[in-house]
Amino acid sequence: MMKKPYQVLAFILLFAACGCRDDRPVKGAYPARGTASWYSSRITATGERFDGNDLTCAMRKTDFGGFYKVCNLANDKCVTVRHNNFGPSGRMYSRGRIIDLSRGAFAQIAELDDGLAKVTVERLDRL
HSE, side-chain direction, 13 A CA sphere, residue 56: 22
Query: What would the pLDDT profile of 70-122 be if each residue is shown by its tens digit?
Result: 999 999 999 999 999 888 777 777 788 899 999 999 999 999 999 999 999 99
- Nearest-5° angle of CA 45, CA 109, CA 87? 20
Query: For residue 25, is pLDDT > 80?
Result: no
Per-residue pLDDT band for 22 (boundaries 50, 70, 90) equals very low
Query: What would the pLDDT profile of 30-49 be if each residue is shown by its tens digit?
Result: 678 999 999 988 999 999 99
pTM of the model: 0.75
**Cα distance between residue 122 and residue 52, in whole Å:** 21
Q: Please choose, from the candidates 37, 28, 35, 39, the residue with its C-alpha nearest in 3D space to the C-alpha of residue 61.
A: 28
Q: Please choose, from the candidates 5, 16, 79, 78, the residue with its C-alpha nearest in 3D space to the C-alpha of residue 43.
A: 5
Residues 6+ apart with CB under 8 A from 112: 38, 103, 106
pLDDT at 93: 76
Query: What would the pLDDT profile of 66-81 be if each residue is shown by its tens digit?
Result: 999 999 999 999 999 9
**Cα distance between residue 111 and residue 77, in whole Å:** 11
User: What structural domains does the chain harbor?
Assistant: 5-20+29-124 (2.40.40.10)
Q: How many other CB atoms sit within 10 Å of the CB of residue 26?
A: 12
Which pairing describes strands 56-59 and 32-39: parallel, antiparallel, or unpaired?
unpaired
User: Which whole number is the average pLDDT over 19-32?
Assistant: 56
